[in-house]
Structure 1
């Protein structure tokens, strides 16, 4: 009795795909919460532990350095081990890292915890991305990426909201990080549930694993096309701008704009909250119309002035922002609009950028492609927080000198400006003979191609 090949098996059912999306997204929720749990305690670390802004920046960079060390091997591990084993392993690493960050007041121990988080969290993101590409390719791929990012960013928003719903914990820097350790257990539980689901589907459904995993040959493994590298460059620009900004955002709003901790947390949460709603909508839109390179260019252009607006424009009237079940705060209009637009832009780019790789790279190389993409992202991202921290320290940024935060905002703006060039180059490439169909592939065109194949 012959073993059925992947091509002869049916694709997973819609119910299976959406269960996969749910479990992967819950794993990412806990992952994002743990990462962003540092932001709300920055001022407490500076007051109670006497950390400088540059030391805080290095806590963020330690995460990136660890990710740089593990991501190249991480992609190969995912391709060789399989996603179910990789996701569970990396989720457990994140849980241990969260506990290590909270357990001691020594800077070296906290630094080690953030380093270990980078060893687990970024490969976990790569593994989750590979899972979605495998289960949703040719289906609702951009929508699935968008929903996953939305639920992940709910983890980020929840970390910001903890300044309100867990306000008694903020009498010290340590208790909020123990809360994050508890949330990290969600990632482990969801990863185990996904393991069970994939195990039951193996041999019964086509999970896109028909191609053999290529050997680890560094001279060949990362020889991707120009369009892939332009997308990687855009990834570096956007993530190395937005994520470091979020790291310092709550402290920045407190120190430079005079908001209290709860209001600053609510304002900071508007960025991921806007993305929660906008990302799946943009994903659905792109699935239907294509035009991916154009969407990336628009996102680059809109992000360019935002950091200068938050620095130099008048704050405007106070707007009462109410988030059900979380709390309310009066937020200056300018800051409110900037954070909402930045969240919208940040939702547009990943909803287009990450799924596009699945159309450029063959299935057996996706784990490696996403790992390299994330590796480059971490390389650019790693240098930003210490530089911003150094600028804040050098220009004596404080409530008495809010202008000291302006050099850091100019630095973010310079990074955003480079995105315009790379998005233009991608647009030109995809309009030429080397196009991969990023601007033409839609759910409708994919369905028509599959119908034609069946007729033949």
Structure 2
């Protein structure tokens, strides 16, 4: 701009002595140049104004209080609180049937096989949703809307479940558990996505440990509180029955409403952070391609067998455990609820610590072998001895936590990164399929043969898991795989690659 003004000044001085022949073309060019310069001037001013606006935004965000600034640790801790409570209602209500086993069977006039359908119907939708949950969050709903929708499914499913008890319609209770299952597992995927979005590269491992601890806390509180709630309602109404059961389950739905509220608040905070930090919504990172299944290595199929055979000896047992401790060990109802929840109580603090131990030492296959063997010993103690069951249950809680820390990371060692989403989705899918089928089988065995045969059934499943671990160890040893390497050797291999 300064150069043009100088040139025009010099031109006005020369006009007194020199006459320039200016034709229409020259005039048009000069007009065009002048218009271009004016436009460039306006663009420059606009860009300067935009930069000033951005500076003002940055200045405004700098003046935010630590609790309101998405870049500050205090704000991320606030987000973490809502993140942890996001799944509290889902885990609290998942084991409502286990905590109220006697009441559900009596009030709804069920046998044990029908009772275990409440767990089977939760698992059935997740045979397929394990593949779709990440896709829906990434491509269809987005993390914020998807989390709210899945939390809404959990709440509506629990309400339908409670309404089925109030109306004395068991089919409606099964429908409620089906709807509840649609939201439950997908909500866990959303919770993990939020964790990666907010804490990636910072405190992610600690955050995952805290989320797992809060999930176990929800299950523990349910085991020890929901029976007391049923008793209080029974004393107020003066009689037990399906109406008392329905009211109890409806009160439990308040925890799902609390989780939905957390989902709404998280969505608001994440959207606000997106505007302030100018970042994109988080994604699950899961790429699901079913055609990858044919390329899975033999070691991964062994991991799948261990997963299914092990977990079917844990969750169905907890679902039926309360009456087992009352009948075999003459425990009171309160004592039976307490010991039935000890697996979750131990898992809450033990999971992060054992995960750290496995990370530091490596040798994942040996840790899985130890977990399976100790679980097998726990079930044998419960089945064939009258020793204090607290010993067996505490051992079961530790081994359950250890297996989760050592088994699931092994998938990443045997499949390439682009197949991880498919591998984990398939693993969760067959796990839910196994739980759905084995839950009904466990109920039928208990009705026809009793608890001793049920424990023998669980021991047989664990023996299958133990056999698969031994084969995995030998296969990994002879193929020089990475599954049982020490942490230092594994790190050296990664550096050499």
Q: Is the structural similarity TM-score above 0.5?
A: yes
Distance of 1:137 and 1:293 partners within structure 2:
28
For 2:267, the equivalent position in structure 1 comes to 195
Distance of 2:471 and 2:195 partners within structure 1:
27
The counterpart of 1:374, out of the listed 419, 428, 445, is 428
Matched positions, count: 412
Residues 290-369 of structure 1 mapped to structure 2, 5 A cutoff? 290-315=362-387, 334-357=388-411, 367-369=421-423
Distance of 2:393 and 2:404 partners within structure 1:
17
For 1:169, the equivalent position in structure 2 comes to 233
Q: Larger radius of gyration, structure 1 or 2?
A: 2
TM-score by length of 2: 0.73
Larger proportion of helix = 2
Instruction: Provide Cα deviations, 1:152-172, integer angstroms capped at 9, x if missing partner.
Output: 011111111115653413643
Please say which of residues 86-95 and 48-57 is displaced more in the overlay. 86-95
The counterpart of 1:409, out of the listed 439, 451, 455, is 455
Distance of 2:407 and 2:95 partners within structure 1:
22
What secondary structure is seen at the aligned counterpart in 2 of 1:219?
helix
Distance of 1:368 and 1:22 partners within structure 2:
30
**Contact persistence 2:302–2:469 (CA under 8 A):** yes
What secondary structure is seen at the aligned counterpart in 2 of 1:421?
helix
**Contact persistence 1:75–1:368 (CA under 8 A):** no
CA 1:143 to 1:267, structure 2 compared with 1: closer, same or farther past 3 Å?
A: same
**Contact persistence 1:59–1:111 (CA under 8 A):** yes
Distance of 2:331 and 2:213 partners within structure 1:
26
Cα distance, 1:147 vs. partner?
2.6
CA 1:124 to 1:247, structure 2 compared with 1: closer, same or farther past 3 Å?
A: same
Distance of 2:415 and 2:80 partners within structure 1:
22
**Contact persistence 1:78–1:367 (CA under 8 A):** no
CA 1:367 to 1:282, structure 2 compared with 1: closer, same or farther past 3 Å?
A: same
1:391 aligns with 2:451: no
For 2:148, the equivalent position in structure 1 comes to 88
Distance of 1:25 and 1:240 partners within structure 2:
26
Distance of 2:328 and 2:319 partners within structure 1:
15
The counterpart of 1:157, out of the listed 212, 220, 225, is 220
CA 1:363 to 1:25, structure 2 compared with 1: closer, same or farther past 3 Å?
A: farther
Structure 1 unaligned runs (5+)? 2-11, 316-333, 396-403
For 1:117, the equivalent position in structure 2 comes to 180
Instruction: Provide Cα deviations, 1:125-184, integer angstroms capped at 9, x if missing partner.
Output: 233345546666666555443332221011111111115653413643223312221111
What secondary structure is seen at the aligned counterpart in 1 of 2:313?
helix
Distance of 1:139 and 1:426 partners within structure 2:
34
The counterpart of 1:282, out of the listed 341, 354, 361, is 354
For 1:322, the equivalent position in structure 2 comes to none
1:62 aligns with 2:121: yes
**Contact persistence 2:162–2:246 (CA under 8 A):** yes
Distance of 1:70 and 1:40 partners within structure 2:
26
How well do the aligned residues superpose, as a CA RMSD in angstroms?
A: 3.5
Instruction: Provide Cα deviations, 1:51-88, integer angstroms capped at 9, x if missing partner.
Output: 11110011211111122243222232234344443332
For 1:43, the equivalent position in structure 2 comes to 102
Cα distance, 1:247 vs. partner?
0.8
Instruction: Provide Cα deviations, 1:329-376, integer angstroms capped at 9, x if missing partner.
Output: xxxxx2111111111111112233334545666666655443322111
Cα distance, 1:121 vs. partner?
0.8
Please say which of residues 383-392 and 139-148 is displaced more in the overlay. 139-148
1:271 aligns with 2:343: yes
Distance of 1:314 and 1:93 partners within structure 2:
43
Cα distance, 1:252 vs. partner?
2.0
Structure 2 unaligned runs (5+)? 1-46, 48-70, 235-239
What secondary structure is seen at the aligned counterpart in 2 of 1:424?
helix
RCO higher in structure (CA 8 A, sep ≥6): 1
CA 1:192 to 1:361, structure 2 compared with 1: closer, same or farther past 3 Å?
A: farther
Distance of 1:130 and 1:228 partners within structure 2:
24
Cα distance, 1:113 vs. partner?
0.7
